[in-house]
Amino acid sequence: MKIHSLDVYILDLPIIRPHQLAMHTITAQAIVVGCVRDEDGREGWSEVATIGGASYGESTPEAIKANIDAYITPLIIGEDPIHFDRIMHKVSKQVRGNYFAKTVVEGAIIDLAARSKHVPAFELFGGQIHKSLPIAWTLASGNTNTDIEEAQEMLRTKRHNIFKLKIGKGDPFKNVEHVRAIKQAIGDEARITVDVNQAWDEDTSNYCIAALQDAGVSMVEQPLQTWDFEGMSRLASKFNVPIMADEAATSIQDVFRIAKNRAGNSIALKPCKHGGLTQTKKVAGIAEASGLGLYGGTMIESSLGTAMCAQLYATIPEMKFGTEIFGPLLFKDSITKNAIEFSNFEIVIPDGPGFGMEIDKEKVKHYARPSASGTELRV
């Protein structure tokens, strides 16, 4: 079995409501989908999601596709997908950075390799530990009463009992009061976490985290800029509430530095920012050895990308802070024929061959951006 081709598509998928971050508000989500084919026509599919063009990070969807087409695809043609770790080691030697692009490529190869063996992809990563994992939901209306009502409905229907609030945009002190009011209304029925998306300085963080800790918030995510390891270390040592590193926790070297300097006491995992599933397992190992708690993060992937994350997270012994891979619940449509199951406050891990998802090629074609060359998309 040899890799014959790799096709990459940029899709724009509609979502049910705006999703607000500090640097961008998502009104439609851009995802990058990869399809690897072998010489017998068998396929492997993968996905990464991006946020706000270049406002969140350097890996724009256009750059991901361009760099895969020009630099990575020639390196994988003719290789045996079963040896995906060797392939990606070869790629890493010749392509610097480009973690999102590497995740698309590796994910598609892994899906193909697992399907060729008729096993779920998690069998290639040590096997499944968890059948399901706790799942968080982001309350993002910006209106306190609306968010309280939404949280109470989620609790009533047993869909979520962990809620995240994005509080990096606007007046930080008003945002803290918004969070305090929601926590007071919900009480001990649910955990409340906040994500600052790097929007605060250290002085603001000192005041606001103290108030959030007093209110009973269970975790504060990335309050400072990615470069401020020393500031994150001071915050982690000062407060009892866990300080989570997300945007700062990219490569295995970054995560080692966070662990060594205690620049946060927990880590948000995301395969796309680490450079693939194999690298994410390494990040999880560093965190486990260092006593850092783990959280299964999201870039708001659709059902395919969510299945990739879910299958990998299911192989990690302890996800102390659960996951937030709720992406499929935010989309109006799906590029897969089957759906991710959410039940009893948890996401159920797909267990079909590969990542367990069957691609709807007509939907891929429908949402894909036109080919730059004007040629018809091969889906």
DSSP assignment string, 22-57: SS-EEEEEEEEEEEEEETTS-EEEEEEEE-TTTTS-
How confident is the model over 35-50, as a mean pLDDT?
96
Residue 22 scores a pLDDT above 60? no
Q: What topology does CATH give the domain 3-123+358-367?
A: Enolase-like; domain 1 (3.30.390)
How confident is the model over 39-48, as a mean pLDDT?
96
How confident is the model over 287-302, as a mean pLDDT?
96
Least confident of 25-39, 72-86, 142-156: 25-39
**Whole-number Å distance between alpha carbons of 329 and 280:** 24
Query: Is residue 308 within 8 Å of 280, Cβ to Cβ?
Result: no
Q: What is the pLDDT of residues 87-123, one digit of tens each?
A: 999 999 999 999 999 999 999 999 999 999 999 999 9
> Which residue bears the tokens 């890996």?
59
Which of 166, 183, 273, 363 does the annotation list as catalytic? 166
Q: What is the pLDDT of residues 62-82, one digit of tens each?
A: 999 999 999 999 999 999 999
Residue spans of the domains in the chain: they are: 3-123+358-367, 127-348
* Average predicted confidence (pLDDT) for the chain: 94
CATH superfamily of 127-348: Enolase-like C-terminal domain (3.20.20.120)
**Whole-number Å distance between alpha carbons of 312 and 350:** 11
Q: What is the pLDDT of residues 329-361, one digit of tens each?
A: 999 999 999 999 999 999 999 999 999 999 999
Residue 18 scores a pLDDT above 70? no
**pTM given for the model:** 0.93
Residue 372 scores a pLDDT above 90? no
What's the pLDDT band for 140 if we cut at 50, 70, 90? Answer: confident
Q: Please name every residue paired with 276 in a beta bridge, in sequence order, or none if there are none.
A: none
> How far lies 154's CA from each of 73, 198, 344, in Å?
43, 28, 10
What's the pLDDT band for 373 if we cut at 50, 70, 90? Answer: very low
Q: What is the pLDDT of residue 375?
A: 46
How confident is the model over 171-178, as a mean pLDDT?
96
Q: What percent of the chain has pLDDT over 70?
A: 94
Give yes or no: 90 in active site.
Answer: no
